[in-house]
Structure 1
């Protein structure tokens, strides 16, 4: 089984993906963790690394290629990244999108990164704009298009455990008969 968890920063992607991995005994692979590791290797913050990625498209392309290969070559994975749903294409059994208001996400990020919620929200908004621009430029993806996702959840409404429970119930309730042609054509960017 391949599940994807996508959404903007601070929506609980990592927590939710880890919970899904535990619930279904799957491996959890986080694009955000890989991105932060790459930033740290260059002694940069994620925001600084995003700015560098605006100038050097190879950063995104290498990361996205790695995640796409995982999605298409491995089974038994919960793949978590902003583009996981797009990168997985029809290989995904379920594609989930998590969201929450910017103020809520800013507070969550502020808690984990020990900064003010206002600064966290401002940085997050800048990061999202940077990423959206690159996704459109490199791949023709409108990150605001939620039509490819099986379920979109506002994580501000429930605690982390309940969000995981909602997604587990959705997977458990599925009858196993995917509709052909449900998803858009394969990701058309050549890596």
Structure 2
């Protein structure tokens, strides 16, 4: 994690930034999946929290080694997005930076199929299980998210992303095909 590359969305009168970030992140997910990359992390330096403001922003930062980022950027994963983004150079991470985890956070959103499975596992009536799930789902989620299709399961889902607290030292680990990790950290600056 000694190098990074910044990808910024360009203003577009036809497409809102969240829609463009969704398209960009979907393309990145496919590229990471195809490369079977577990050594590329992501962060969103301009993300915003809050029920009414949650957004990943218009800035995606990729973190890895110079060689791995070069390999990724040689792939045609940005085809179709070049008019909508500006891509920076691969640069060394500045000295004396903080580190953060950037991870997927899952929530119980009251999905009826989940309630049905919960009822079966716990010997409850489906209506009781759905009532339990509805109470939990009423909580307002303040994390930013994107709607994506999983490359492995083809399922569409909301990917909620949580930036952890800044830490003074990095933690090693692997990243998933979304560039996220519950344990590994990325440089934060």
Range into which the TM-score falls when normalised by the shorter chain: under 0.3
The TM-score normalised by the length of structure 1 is 0.27
Greater radius of gyration (CA): 2
The TM-score normalised by the length of structure 2 is 0.27
Q: Higher strand fraction: Structure 1 or Structure 2?
A: 2
